[in-house]
A and B are shown apart, each in its own frame.
Chain A
């Protein structure tokens, strides 16, 4: 199965509310990244958090990392219609290999 798995698979919230997505992974990691994908388009990098960091902010995005639980969360505050997209976490496998492994994503739909 996937190194990183997002939860929930799909999420619908009202515009203005906060959206929280979670990612769990299996092996130790060096970094964890979050990407966004608008329907049928390429992924866009949002934020990278290193294994020695616990929290990181970027605008309306807040990412946390709990290496003891092998999990990360992405919080989008004050959601907007433009936030409607799929969100993926991507992790390495803690080795020298350059591969990053993407989860299957959370589909976020912001309702007007």
Chain B
């Protein structure tokens, strides 16, 4: 158990819908990262927050948005869902920011768009 929690574990929804994925980082970790893992694209970095502010952006679509709240939990919002958005979405956290930091991954949310 990494100490990072993600809810829900599974999500099935229809195209065009909007969903929110939630992540609680390890106690004391200030950085939160979001990743998308699909069979054809591998593990793609989406976005990173540090202490409530966006720090780095990766291949995140405009239909997706995220935020980190004052209590450091984070939410990833996916809207106008398409079939291709079906994937595993992981949240990770680290104590600080920087590429030397160890990231601790949550168990993921499996999203299926029908």
Contacts and interface: CB of A to CB of B under 8 A. Distances in A.
Interface of A: 2, 30-31, 33, 40-45, 48, 50, 88, 92, 97-105
A42 B4 contact: yes
Nearest to B1: A42
Interface of B: 2, 4, 31, 35, 42-43, 45, 48, 50, 55-56, 58, 88, 90, 92, 97-100, 102-108, 110
A104 B41 CA distance: 8
15 contacts: A40-B108, A42-B4, A42-B92, A42-B107, A42-B108, A43-B105, A44-B105, A45-B102, A98-B48, A98-B56, A99-B45, A100-B45, A100-B99, A104-B42, A104-B43
Contacts, number: 62
Contacts of B48: 98-99
